C-alpha cells in the first residue's frame, strides 16, 4: 500500500470545537488506516491571534481522543525565512505584484478581472497603475501587500470526497501588508516540506484549494491529494462556535460524557458508526471506508 502522509494543522486561536476535532479524527483515520505518517502543524502565523495555551489544549485534546502523530508538531511561525524564500522565488519568476488596496477598496471596486470571477475577487487595480500612480502609493506610507499574478490561469484537482474541481485563480495575497506570509503561501510550502501527500481538512477551505494547487505548481512542489470533509454547524446554520453551547471536549466531559461517547458522536455524524456509538478512535481504523463519509454538514443541536 502506498504511503500518503497526512496532517492536522490547527490554528491556536481558540479551543478546538467538535467540528475541529472531527476533522482531526478523519485526517488521522485517512493516514493511519493506510499505515501512513501523520503530522501536526501549529498554524500560528498570526501572532495577534495565536496563544500558546490554545496550542497546549489542542495537543492534549487530540491525545485524549486517542490520536497520535509522528515527531514534534511543526510550528509555522518559526518558518518565516522559508516562507520568505518561497515568496522571493515567485517574485523572481515575475508572478507577484505589490498592492496598496485596503479591504474597503477591494469591496467597493466594481470591475471584476474575469467575467466568471466570483464577487469580492481582487480586480487587479494595483497591477494596472501608471508610473505616477505607483509612485504616489509608494510615497503614501500605506502598508504594501504582495499578490500573486494569477494571469487568468485556472487550477484543477480531484478531491477524494467532492470530485473534480476547477477554478480560475484570483490575484490573492501572498505576503501581507503587516509583513507576514499569507496562509495560502505558508500552507503550500509547509505541506511540501513536511512530506504531506494527503490533505484532509474542513470544506470551508475547498474554495481556496485551487490557489494552493497553482502555487505548488509554480514553486515546483508536489501537489498533495485533497479530501475536504464537511463542517459541524450550529443550530443557526453558522459555523460551530462557543455561543452554541458545550462545543469543546472539556465541556462535553464536564457534562458527563465519556471520551468514547464523544468519539462515537464524531464518527456517527461522519457516517462511520451507528448513532449513539461509543468507541475508541483505534476501533475505527480497521474498516475505515472514506466513501462512507457524508458530504453534508452536520448540525449540532
Ligand atoms: N489552520 C487552518 C484551520 O485551523 C487549517 C488549514 C489547513 O488545513 O490547510 O482552519
pLDDT (0 to 100) of residue 117: 62
Whole-number percent of the chain with pLDDT over 90: 90
The atom number, within ligand 1, closest to the CA of 43 reads: 1
| Candidate of 42, 58, 201 to mutate for ligand 1, largest count of ligand atoms within 8 Å of Cβ | 201
pLDDT digits (tens, 9 = 90+) for 31-67: 999 999 999 999 999 999 999 999 999 999 999 999 9
Q: Looking at the chain, which residues constitute the CATH 3.90.800.10 domain(s)?
A: 81-175
Centre of ligand 1 to C-alpha 273, Å, is 25
pLDDT in tens, 146-197: 999 999 999 999 999 999 999 999 999 999 999 999 999 999 999 999 999 9
Q: What is the largest CA-CA distance in the chain?
A: 67
* Phi, psi dihedral angles at 38 (to 5 degrees): -135, 130
Q: How does pLDDT run across 224-255, given as a tens digit for each residue?
A: 999 999 999 999 999 999 899 999 999 999 99
| Ligand 1 atom closest to 204 (CA) | 10
Q: How far is the CA of 8 from the centre of ligand 1 (A)?
A: 8
Centre of ligand 1 to C-alpha 10, Å, is: 6
CATH of the structural domain 81-175, one choice from 3.60.20.10, 3.40.50.1110, 3.90.800.10, 3.90.870.10: 3.90.800.10
At 5 the pLDDT is: 98
Query: If you measure from the C-alpha of residue 11 to the centroid of ligand 1, how many angstroms do you get, rounded to a whole number?
Result: 6
Q: Rounded CA gap, 235 and 301, in Å? A: 6
Instruction: List, by residue range, all CATH 3.40.50.620 domains of the chain.
Output: 6-72+230-299
What pLDDT score does 113 carry? 59
Helix ranges restricted to H, 12-154: 18-32, 52-64, 80-92, 103-108, 131-140
Instruction: Kindly give the number of the ligand 1 atom that is closest to the alpha carbon of 191.
Output: 9
State the distance from the centre of ligand 1 to the C-alpha of 201, rounded, in angstroms.
7
> Does 205 sit in the ligand 1 pocket, CB within 6 Å?
yes
Instruction: Give the pLDDT band (50/70/90) at residue 131.
Output: very high
Phi-psi group of 141: left, alpha or beta (phi > 0 → left; psi -120 to 50 → alpha; rest → beta): left
| pLDDT for the residue 261 | 98
Among 17, 41, 181, 202, say which to mutate for ligand 1: greatest number of ligand atoms within 8 Å of CB.
202
Mean confidence (pLDDT) of the chain: 95
Global pTM reads 0.95
pLDDT at 81 over 90: yes
Q: What's the 204 CA to ligand 1 centre distance in angstroms?
A: 9
Q: How far apart are CA 221 and CA 214, in angstroms?
A: 10
Domain 6-72+230-299 has CATH 1.20.1560.10: no
Amino acid at each position: 500500500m502506498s504511503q500518503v502522509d497526512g496532517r492536522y494543522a490547527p490554528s491556536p486561536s481558540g479551543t478546538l470545537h467538535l467540528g475541529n476535532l472531527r476533522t482531526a479524527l478523519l485526517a488521522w483515520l485517512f493516514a493511519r488506516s493506510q499505515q501512513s505518517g501523520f503530522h501536526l502543524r501549529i498554524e500560528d502565523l498570526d501572532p495577534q491571534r495565536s496563544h500558546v495555551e490554545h496550542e497546549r489544549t489542542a495537543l492534549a485534546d487530540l491525545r485524549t481522543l486517542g490520536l497520535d502523530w509522528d515527531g514534534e508538531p511543526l510550528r509555522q511561525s518559526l518558518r518565516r525565512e522559508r516562507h520568505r524564500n518561497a515568496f522571493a522565488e515567485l517574485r523572481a519568476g515575475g508572478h507577484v505584484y505589490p498592492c496598496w488596496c485596503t479591504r474597503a477598496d477591494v469591496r467597493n471596486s466594481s470591475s471584476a478581472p474575469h467575467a466568471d470571477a466570483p464577487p469580492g475577487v481582487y480586480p487587479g487595480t494595483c497591477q494596472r497603475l501608471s508610473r505616477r500612480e505607483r509612485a504616489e502609493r509608494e510615497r503614501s506610507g500605506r502598508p504594501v501587500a504582495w499578490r500573486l499574478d494569477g494571469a487568468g490561469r485556472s487550477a484543477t484537482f480531484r478531491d477524494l470526497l467532492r470530485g473534480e474541481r476547477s477554478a480560475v485563480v484570483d490575484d490573492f495575497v501572498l505576503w501581507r501588508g503587516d509583513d507576514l506570509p499569507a496562509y495560502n503561501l505558508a500552507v503550500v510550502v509547509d505541506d511540501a516540506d513536511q512530506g504531506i501527500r494527503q490533505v484532509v481538512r474542513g470544506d470551508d477551505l475547498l474554495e481556496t484549494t485551487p490557489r494552493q494547487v497553482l502555487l505548488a505548481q509554480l514553486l515546483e512542489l508536489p501537489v498533495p491529494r485533497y479530501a475536504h470533509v464537511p463542517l459541524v454547524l450550529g443550530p443557526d446554520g453558522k459555523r460551530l462556535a462557543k455561543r452554541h453551547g458545550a462545543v469543546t471536549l472539556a465541556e462535553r466531559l464536564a457534562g458527563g460524557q465519556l471520551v468514547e461517547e464523544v468519539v462515537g458522536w464524531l464518527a456517527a455524524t461522519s457516517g462511520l458508526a451507528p448513532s449513539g456509538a461509543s468507541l475508541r478512535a483505534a476501533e475505527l481504523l480497521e474498516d475505515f471506508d472514506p466513501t462512507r463519509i457524508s458530504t453534508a454538514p452536520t448540525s449540532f443541536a
